[in-house]
Structure 1
Amino acid sequence: MYLADEAWPDLQRYFRQESLALIPLGSTEQHGPHLPESTDHVIAESLAREAAARTGYLCTPTVNVGVSRHHRQFPGTMWVSPDAFRTYVRELTENLTYHGIDRVVYVNAHGGNVDALREVAKDLHADGTCYALEWMWDESIPGLVDELFEHNGPHGGPKETAMLQHLTDRVHEDRLAEARDGGTRDIWNASGTSQNGAATYFDARDNSENGVFGDQTDATAEKGEQLFEAATEQLVELSEWLAAREETALTPADRVGSAR
């Protein structure tokens, strides 16, 4: 069920029967010369809406702009501060709790959002507002990602390229070699990323001239379909697990020594 497509009486029936919502979140930022700036939010929304269709749970509209200041040197990148993002996500979540939702999955497709989402989830849990979980699609299927790609990358690499090849027609197929050759193929072994255990970079451009990492020529729509199906299965299982949990298991533990 997609919230924005429904009339309020139908949503009222949902809120009376169910207590879980999926909130997709991504970014609008550079993804190299070959991918659209919508990459992250297209992936997040596609996964959330597919999981909602398979389970009947509620999917909200997508948060399209996230914590992306580290991509600002590339034209078109949009971002908000971590403080603004946390406030927005918390208030958006509180909208849902007003209607009766008490458990939420943040369906995330942008690494820059992770810390802020986890902090919001901790705060919502601590004050008893609801039980929220941050879920990052590629972190749910690391074995498959490693199996499919020899040179993956944390941003604009073959996994995101393959997903967009499967989901859209917006990939510049003629620029895949350019993306690989103008970026950083193996960020994990690149020099100049740390000094004595301290990270020495802040922005994507510090480590990649064109802003992306990995070997994009290794991506195919068929691999993207494998990733999409595997990640959707993980999200469906997580949603069903969370929906089935007893309410008492979702509240903060009592202080040590206190009586229930």
Structure 2
Amino acid sequence: MDVYLSEQTWPELGEYVAEESLAVVPLGSTEQHGPHLPLATDYLIGEALARAATDRTGHLCTPPVRIAVSEHHRQFHGTMWVEPEVFRDYVESFTRNLTYHGIDRVVYVNAHGGNVQHLREVGRRLRRDETAYAVEWMWDESIPDLVDEAFETNGPHGGPKETAMVMHIAEDLVREGELDAAHEGGRATLAPEELRTAGSRTFYDSIDNSENGVFGDQTDATPEKGAELFEAATDQLVQLVEWIDDQPFADLMPDPHVDPQPGSRRE
């Protein structure tokens, strides 16, 4: 059974941190995912995976971060975002809050590609001053071969992998009548050579490459494929959580400066 932070009392959380020091934080976004998926897609996936994994490991799971770095989808109705520096500072701030209560290792269960580099930077900051060990985990990056095998025409956003996952997690939120329109109005493929002009990434927003903001063949998604992806990704997350939990904290911290230490020869 997972320990969901916002559903506990403070004495119950006191019992947790007396024995454990790891927390799992789900993150996603509130942004367009085409005409067939809800704006909640990313944080629904992140929270579902975090809850499934902590249900198996018994670790603390926090409420999800629902609004993040999504400005590249701003042309589409309903997309919400914060500036990257605001996101980084916010995540770092609440993570330091967790450390005040006894947490010294955190897994950011991320389901939005726009968050990746910023979560890595936050983890670097926290590790640099030896406050905590915090790492970003992206669900589809944990099972790349399975994702590629499941779909003939995958896509980085609003494609069949996310569609299948939401079909499994919250099928009633998928507008199945819009799957054909999503495919026809989007972009099926986005090859590496299509991303650059004379070596430069000459675009900034998703609308620059896709009229409806989505990629891949959404019609290839099924709840069964979503369940397979979900279980495989959960297995990977459980492995990561248990590995981090097993490590001595000192082994997770930065190595010291190589010898000679700066100033060691001064008298």
Query: 2 CA distance for matches of 1:198 and 1:19?
Result: 44
- How far residue 38 of structure 1 moved from its aligned partner, in angstroms, is 0.1
Match of 1:188 in 2: 191
Aligned to 1:224: 226
SS at match of 1:229: helix
* Match in the other structure for 2:62: 60
The letter for the 1-side match of 2:185 is G
Corresponding residue of 1:18:
20
Query: Structure 1 residues 55 and 258 mapped into 2: Cα distance closer, same or farther (>3 Å)?
Result: farther
Determine the C-alpha separation between the residues in 1 that align with 2:75 and 2:193. 21
The answer to whether the aligner puts 1:253 opposite 2:255 as a matched pair is yes
Aligned-partner SS, 2:107: strand
Q: Which runs of 4+ in 1 moved over 3 A?
A: none
C-alpha distance in structure 2 between counterparts of 1:250 and 1:240, whole Å: 14
Over 3 Å counting, the alpha-carbon distance change for 1:258 and 1:97 in structure 2 is farther
Unmatched 5+ residue regions in structure 2?
262-267
Mapped partners of 2:244, 2:31: distance in 1: 31
CA distance in 2, matches of 1:189, 1:252: 35
Q: Distance in 1 between matches of 2:74 and 2:179?
A: 22
Query: Would you say 1:135 and 2:129 are equivalent positions?
Result: no
Amino acid at match of 2:77: P
2:110 to 89, 97, 108: 108
- Between the two proteins, what is the percent identity of the paired residues? 61
* Mapping for residues 112-191 of structure 1, pairs under 5 Å: 112-168=114-170, 169-188=172-191, 191=194
Secondary structure, in 3 states, of the residue corresponding to 1:27? Answer: coil
Q: What residue number does 1:50 align with?
A: 52
Q: Distance in 1 between matches of 2:192 and 2:226?
A: 25
What stretches of structure 1 of length at least 5 have no aligned partner? Answer: none
The alpha-carbon deviation at position 6 of structure 1 amounts to 0.6
Residue aligning to 2:35: 33
Q: How many residues were matched structurally?
A: 258
Cα deviation for residue 189 of structure 1 reads 5.9
Q: Secondary structure at the match of 1:17?
A: coil
* Letter of the 1:151 counterpart: T
> In 2, distance between residues paired with 1:250 and 1:95?
20
TM-score, structure 2 as length reference: 0.95
Q: Deviations over 1:22-67 (max 9, x none)?
A: 0000000000000000000000000001111110000001000010
Q: Secondary structure at the match of 1:199?
A: coil
User: How far apart in 2 are the matches of 1:19 and 1:258?
Assistant: 34
Shift of 1:190: 7.0
Distance 1:53 1:36 in 2: 25
Q: 3-state SS of the aligned residue for 1:105?
A: strand
